[in-house]
Amino acid sequence: MTAAPSSAAAPAAPITVPVALAERSYHIRIGRGLLAGAGAAIAGLAPGARAAIVTDENLAGLHAPALEASLAAAGIAATRLTIPPGEASKSYARFAALCDGLLAAKIERNDLVIALGGGVVGDLSGFAAAVLRRGVRFVQIPTSLLAQVDSSVGGKTGINSPHGKNLVGAFHQPALVLCDTALLDTLSEREFAAGYAEVVKYGLIDDAGFFDWCEANWRRVRAGGPERDHAVATSCRAKAAIVARDEREDGDRALLNLGHTFAHALERLTGYDSARLVHGEAVAIGLSLAFRFSQALELCPGQDAGRVAAHLAACGLPTRLQDVPGGTGDADAIVEAMTQDKKVRRGALTFILARGIGRSFIAPGIPAETVRDFIARELAGA
């Protein structure tokens, strides 16, 4: 995803997206420079509360001082807890150390945990907040595009087990999400593009107009003008709508897994090695495969499948199994990796398929043999 020159335009007014979940409702605030006002926003949420900021070693120097200054200006006493960056921090050991760190910092029931970071920081600290003293409130300040448009919204928190990713966790909704889109200026091209795959996903699920908009505006989203705020807000609005009607993934929330059954298998087969494949890159391949699979099943026009892959590739994302550095193994290995996914029920594979761009649906009971044949054709380049 090649960056266009940074926008010199004045920051647009912040956008507020409500997440309607009865007594667990909250707001997502989106805009450039929101970190400076975080203290005031948080003070309004929990007058008199203390805060623990959880962040990672890379972000501690980059963004934590600005947050601490903002909290101090609002009269909020804060402690900083730092974890090593990377997926390995979503472990039992790190979770226990974080809970003990929060207790040592004397975080009480009425206090706040603030997650300042990407998906790892949000998932780990959200889970700690869910169980600490049987639940304390937490605020998400996501610093990656992926976290701003996906993981910080919707209340999924958790850690990994030797049995798989995110298998130990809780639904614990944040009290507030602050998406400062200026924080994304420091992301690498690769990390930005990976998060952008999740933005495109919302258009593919049920908003063909947004996909058209993405095709026309992705360079401006990267550049950081009002289009970036619009992309984040549209994504959060789409996710909020789905979460509001199916918080615990008993139905429609599964649509958010478009491309993810393939993606999770590829991440597993590459050993969760971010040097080879990061989650958003796996999702980009998964989205492309989901549309080509839908085409192969004669559900989706080939033209739509072609547009999906062409847009993701234009943004610098991988779209084919052959794009995975070091390879993926054969079709049997990929299907085997898919059947270990927690979304597999009684041996049948559930996919999110599409009748076209913006027309995705949940398709349970897809025979493994059908999937295997499709993957074998993909690997053969057919």
Phi-psi region of 155 (alpha: psi -120 to 50; beta: other; left: phi over 0): left
Q: Which of 230, 237, 239, 292 is catalytic?
A: 239
Which stretch, 92-100, 148-156, 208-216, 313-321, contacts ligand GLY (CB under 6 A)?
Answer: 148-156
Contact with ligand GLY (CB under 6 A) among 56, 87, 123, 150:
150
Q: Which of 32, 63, 237, 260 is catalytic?
A: 260
Report, in Å, the least distance between residue 241 CB and ligand GLY: 13
Is 247 catalytic? The answer is no
- Write the binding mask 152 to 191 for ligand GLY: x where contact by CB under 6 A, - elsewhere: --x-x-----------------------------------
Is 230 noted as a catalytic residue in this protein?
no
Which residues inside 215-254 make contact with ligand GLY, applying CB under 6 A? 249, 253
Asked if 239 is an active-site residue, the reply is: yes
Site for ligand GLY in 277-306 (CB under 6 A): none
Binding part of the chain for ligand GLY, among 150-158, 180-188, 225-233, 315-323 by CB under 6 A, reads 150-158
For ligand GLY, the closer of residues 32 and 279 by Cβ is 279
> For this structure, is 63 an active site residue?
no
Rounded least distance, CB 158 to ligand GLY, Å = 11
Active-site option among 29, 228, 268, 279: 279
Which active-site residues does the annotation give?
134, 156, 198, 239, 249, 253, 257, 260, 264, 279
Site residues, ligand GLY (CB under 6 A):
150, 154, 156, 249, 253, 256
